[in-house]
Structure 1
Amino acid sequence: MKEITFILPGKDDKPVGGYKIVYEYANRFANADYKVNLIYHHIELDYKDRNLFLRVKRYFGFLYHRARHHYNAGEWFNLSSKINKVYLYRTNNRGMKKFRNSYAIATAVQTAYELNKIKCIPDERKFYFIQDFEAWNGKTDEYVYNSYKFPMTKIVIAPWLKERVEKAGNTAYLVPNGFDFEYFGLKTPIENRKPYEVTMLYHLDDRKRCCDSMKALETVKKEIPDLHVTMFGTPDRPQNLPEWYSYYKCPDRETHNKILNDTAVFVAASNLEGFGLTVGESMICGCAVACTDNGGFSCMAKNNETALTSPVYDTEALAKNIIKLIKNDELRIKIAGNGNKFIKTFTWEKAFNSFKSILEK
């Protein structure tokens, strides 16, 4: 039996887009009769440079999270029971020997550094699944670019990430994400929606630029008093949210679909996105998209075709696009219909077959 091991950077107690994609692949490999392992661990790349107190504190933190089932391998995701879950503080040759016959997949920049050090797995069985340019939490651009030079096969989810790998002097296979057309679906006809019903994702990551979306929507509200915004996300409800906002924390499947089907326009203002799953999910449900023009969104958001796009940080341009979609039903219906048709080309069957063929070359 063929074996595949995904190395994840930590706990997954809340929905995260990158984990969601890995879990989709894990399920599909399990259904294709692969032995599938998910390694969760508490990585500390610079542990040798930290003082003893911090190292001990971090280790006991790992034990605490493991005991409290914070590494629960997809509690929010329907993960196959066939999948083997492994909990490690750090990966090393000793701990990885049992996976030496696996296709080993690094799923984040930290895990790429860890996998690169493992000698018991040959380089030709090492893969680096790149879902974003992960220069955050103190990591520099140089640190990320250096990971792209490691002798392992790179797989990226978007053209802009392929360009980053090539900038580092390496090559990568492009495998765009698939979407779950059973989880999300168009239930309310596009033409029947109230055009002033708008939705957006709320996230604490500054790269999502929720502040820019909300600033643009303030401008829209002045021109369209009937505007109502439904916001959803994993954090607690933001404080001082205007009364013309509704907020749903961690909506379940039915509620999530209802939000996107009751909505005419989906708004997103990220300055950087690996791919932008929420844009695609909103298209599946029939929303017209007004978003910023970044590398991730551009996989799906084609200006004046499948979305109206605006420059990053330009809240006035974003507001104008939202107003256009609200005031012009013909334009909104066209953009939403084009987006709904285009997003259907992003199937999981296509993504999985491409990913699998790269491993088995």
Structure 2
Amino acid sequence: MPATKVTFVLPDIARTATGGAKMVFIYSNYLASKGFDVTICFDCQCMLRQFPIPSFVRRMASRMLVCHRPTWFDLNPKVKKKCIFKIDDSTMPESDHVVATWVGSARPVASLSSAKGKKHYFIQDYEIWDTPASVVEDTYRLGMSNIVVSDWLFNIVTHASGIEPRKVKNPIDDNIFYAEACTRYEHEVALLYHPGSHKGFADALDALIYAHELVPDLVVNVFGGPKRPGCLPDWCHYTRNASQEQLRNIYSRSSIFLCATVNEGFALTCPEAMFCGCALVSTDFQGVHEYADPTCSLLSPVHDSVALGMNLVKLLLDPKEARRLASLGSDYAKRECSMKRALEAINREFEVG
């Protein structure tokens, strides 16, 4: 009997780590391990357009990048990768299942012929930052099998479509993210740098500067995909394109993970850090409630960098309380972000035997 074929569609090539791409790679690896024939189609129609190079050169370079990326995730070699420049019947392989993974891919995937497979829509955020809410919600009504990664997205998609989606809450792999046997420093903090305004890094930086004035030996471990931002003070360490092993080490030696997100579907680095034993100090954005609550973390209003900084200082000056919240938070996140539960939901969605 031929293997079941599944095709995921991703934008660009995910040259740097992103939570959305990571989830697609995790499920691709899993399905390939179950004997599925998995292909990831990278839609590169906008890739490298910022460079003044001929179209044929841009396409050749895009194909090369697809061949050699991602470098930050260990993708199963059984997973096939394909570079495409539009999503239609001429570019997409025949499959049993095909999965749209962002709002811009929803309509093209929904329009594919039945030979391309049953249509699924993997909804990882409420993508209204550059698309009107009405347009985003229209994509929930295209007749595909909607999959969401959180309780709050479940409510939005159910309300918009009138049909309950499949919920596959983002899991954390505890074989990768766990507390290493290393020294955890009481005045060491970790956080993600991302230039997107919805990530709230400017607020995080204000909170860090406030904390550094009160705790001069503060050590800050920042990681991210872009080059080191010029706004970072010299007392901040920066790791670019950290591997999962490097992230685990950063989390394991830091006592606190700081997050200043404004609006985000999940913020995957928060539960990763909690799995590794960090206490969470965060803004009270919607996604944080998928793995934390006020009983096991310190949450402050979005854009209130003063309150965020005060919460950070509170734990820096009270390491016993930081350890208590870290322990409670780790237990809470491990319950909510269970890999076993997520894979059981994937089994149902793709009829894994």
Residue 248 of structure 1: how far off its partner (Å): 1.4
Aligned to 1:333: 323
| One-letter code aligned to 2:186 | P
Asked if residue 195 in structure 1 is aligned to residue 186 in structure 2, the reply is yes
String of CA shifts for 1:140-185, please: whole Å, max 9, x gaps: 2222111111111101001111122123233312110111212222
Matched, 1:229 2:220: yes
Corresponding residue of 2:90: 94
Question: What amino acid sits opposite 2:166 in the alignment?
Answer: Y
1:11-66 CA distance string (max 9 Å, x none)? 2222121111100000000011111111112357xxxxxxxx99x98954751432
Question: How does 1:21-170 map onto structure 2 within 5 Å?
Answer: 21-43=23-45, 60=56, 62-70=58-66, 72-96=68-92, 98-99=93-94, 101-121=95-115, 125-136=118-129, 138-170=130-162
Matched, 1:212 2:203: yes
**Gapped runs of 5+ residues in structure 1?**
45-52
Q: Would the aligned equivalents of 1:184 and 1:281 in 2 still touch at CA under 8 Å? A: yes
Equivalent in the alignment of 1:347 = 338
Maintained 8 Å contact 1:148/1:170: no
Determine the C-alpha separation between the residues in 2 that align with 1:273 and 1:58.
Answer: 36
* Distance (Å, rounded) in 2 between the aligned partners of 1:206 and 1:168: 26
The structural deviation recorded for 1:283 is 0.6
Counterpart AA for 1:317: A
Q: For 2:222, give the aligned amino acid.
A: M
Change over 3 Å in CA distance of 1:58–1:209 after alignment to 2: farther
Paired residue total:
345
**TM (normalized to structure 2)?**
0.90
CA distance in 2, matches of 1:122, 1:248: 41
AA in 2 matched with 1:291: S
Paired residue secondary structure (1:352): helix
Deviation at 1:290, TM superposition (A): 0.1
Amino acid at match of 2:132: T
Aligned-partner residue type, residue 134 of structure 2: E
Please show how residues 168-317 of structure 1 align to structure 2 within 5 Å: 168-171=160-163, 172-188=165-181, 193-303=184-294, 305-317=295-307
Q: Check whether the contact 1:158–1:295 (CA below 8 A) recurs between aligned residues.
A: no
Structure 1 letter corresponding to 2:177: F
Q: Residues 314-339 of structure 1, C-alpha deviation per residue, up to 9 Å, x if partnerless?
A: 11111121112112223211110011
Mapped partners of 1:147, 1:58: distance in 2: 34
Q: Is the 8 A contact 2:63 2:83 kept in 1?
A: no
- Extract unaligned runs of 5+ from structure 2: none
Instruction: Find the aligned partners of 1:61 and 1:313 in 2 and give their Cα distance.
Output: 43
The aligned amino acid for 2:24 is: V
The separation in 2 between residues aligned to 1:200 and 1:264, in whole angstroms, is 11
Once residues 151 and 122 of structure 1 are traced to their aligned partners in structure 2, the CA distance between those partners, rounded to angstroms, is 15
SS at match of 2:114: coil
RMSD between aligned residues: 2.4
- 1:162-212 per-position Cα deviation (integer Å, ceiling 9, x unaligned): 1221232333121101112122220247xx633221111111111111100
SS in 2 for 1:160: helix
CA contact (8 A) 1:13 1:72 kept: no
Deviations along 1:293-333, one digit per CA (max 9) or x if unpaired, are: 11211111211x22111111111111121112112223211
In the alignment, which residue of structure 1 is the partner of 2:5? 3
Q: CA separation of 1:236/1:64 partners in 2, compared to 1, >3 Å: closer, same or farther?
A: same
The answer to which of 248-257 and 22-31 deviates more is 248-257
Q: Which amino acid aligns with 1:74?
A: P
Query: Could you tell me the TM-score, scaled by structure 1's length?
Result: 0.88
Match of 1:49 in 2: none
Q: Contact (CA 8 Å) 1:194, 1:264: kept in 2 or not?
A: yes
| Kept after mapping to 1: 8 A contact 2:73/2:244 | no
Instruction: Look up the SS of the partner of 1:351 in the other structure.
Output: helix
Cα shift readout 1:242-293 (whole Å, capped 9, x = no counterpart): 2321111122344322211111111000011111110011111111010011
